[in-house]
């Protein structure tokens, strides 16, 4: 299993802390062997969960100029036409992906093109499914312009558990569809805003994979 770079230091520190606490508890409770085995088992499960948070599977994206690829693993919770007010200030179709703590947390470029806009916003930590989380939570907004002129907005949103967003992109940078754009620790949500004339190819409740699943097709 590949471990994402965001997890290297965190997992090392967590491993040392888990070992110290487990050994201390086992020593204190050495007269209760069954309880000691339970503690060791729970420590292994806990650390195993931390490791899977930072897994980074290899994803091979099939390059296609019309495809808008899912930027994150998770479940589609919103598909609706709405007014995007930070960058476009006009109507777009919003597609929201909820990332549970069990999902892969790597975020990927939905299209190839030039990064036109990157902005980080401090904010609240409302639960990811809260209607106002997209505009009030801590978040980073990214806009990538397709070679054909289409612009796609991606918004990384923090939540009640996810309180650290990483975005690796910079304005004027050329990016490739499917490559990493960032990371959200411990889940939360990613919104994608696509042109209203896009052909939506997913549905509410669908489970998608970042860099693989096609959310929509750009107009030819």
Tens digit of each residue's pLDDT (9 = 90 or more) over 88-98: 999 999 999 99
Strand-pairing partners, residue 75, are 98, 207
Strand-pairing partners, residue 151, are 145
CA distance 49 to 105: 13
Considering the domain boundaries, does residue 58 fall inside one? Answer: no
Considering the domain boundaries, does residue 153 fall inside one? Answer: yes
Considering the domain boundaries, does residue 149 fall inside one? Answer: yes
Q: Is the pLDDT of residue 76 over 60?
A: yes
Same domain? 149 vs 73: yes
Strand-pairing partners, residue 182, are 107, 167
**How many other C-beta atoms are found inside a 10 Å radius of the C-beta of residue 204?**
12
Least confident segment among 91-100, 132-141, 164-173, 186-195: 132-141
Handedness of CA 62, 65, 67, 69 (dihedral sign): positive
For residue 125, the number of C-alpha atoms closer than 13 Å in the C-beta half-sphere is 9
Q: Which of 112, 133, 188, 198 is flagged as catalytic?
A: 188
Provide the 8-state DSSP code for 213. Answer: S
CA distance 192 to 144: 11
Same domain? 76 vs 46: no
Tens digit of each residue's pLDDT (9 = 90 or more) over 132-147: 555 567 889 999 999 8
Residue 130's domain spans which residues? 67-217
Q: Please give the tally of structural domains in the chain.
A: 2
Same domain? 49 vs 73: no
For the record, the structure tokens of 16 come out as: 């040392």
Same domain? 49 vs 84: no
Same domain? 186 vs 163: yes
Tens digit of each residue's pLDDT (9 = 90 or more) over 174-183: 999 999 999 9
Same domain? 154 vs 49: no
CA distance 154 to 148: 18
**Mean pLDDT comparison of 100-104, 146-150, 214-218, highest-scoring range:** 214-218
pLDDT of residue 39: 85
Same domain? 178 vs 86: yes
**How many other C-beta atoms are found inside a 10 Å radius of the C-beta of residue 86?**
16
* 198 counts as catalytic: no
Asked whether the beta carbons of 101 and 123 are under 8 A apart, the reply is no
The helix/strand/coil state of 10 is helix
Considering the domain boundaries, does residue 60 fall inside one? Answer: no
CA distance 198 to 207: 20
Asked whether the beta carbons of 158 and 125 are under 8 A apart, the reply is yes
Same domain? 156 vs 182: yes
Considering the domain boundaries, does residue 40 fall inside one? Answer: yes
């Amino acid at each position: 299993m590949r471990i994402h770079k965001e997890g290297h230091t965190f997992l090392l520190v967590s491993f040392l802390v888990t070992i110290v606490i487990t050994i201390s508890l086992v020593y204190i409770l050495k007269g209760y062997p069954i309880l000691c085995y339970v503690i060791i088992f729970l420590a292994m499960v806990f650390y195993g969960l931390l490791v899977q948070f930072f897994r980074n599977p290899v994803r091979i994206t099939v390059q296609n100029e019309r495809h808008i690829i899912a930027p994150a693993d998770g479940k589609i919770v919103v598909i609706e036409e709405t007014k995007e007010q930070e960058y476009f200030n006009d109507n777009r179709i919003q597609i929201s992906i909820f990332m549970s703590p069990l999902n892969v947390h790597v975020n990927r470029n939905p299209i190839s093109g030039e990064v036109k806009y990157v902005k980080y916003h401090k904010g609240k930590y409302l639960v990811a499914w809260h209607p106002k989380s997209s505009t009030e939570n801590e978040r980073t907004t990214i806009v990538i312009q397709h070679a054909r002129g289409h612009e796609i907005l991606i918004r990384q949103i923090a939540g009640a558990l996810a309180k650290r967003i990483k975005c690796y992109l910079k304005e004027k940078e050329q990016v490739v569809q499917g490559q990493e754009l960032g990371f959200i620790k411990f889940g939360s949500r990613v919104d994608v805003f696509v042109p209203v004339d896009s052909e939506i190819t997913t549905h509410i409740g669908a489970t998608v994979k970042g860099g693989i699943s096609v959310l929509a097709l750009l107009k030819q």
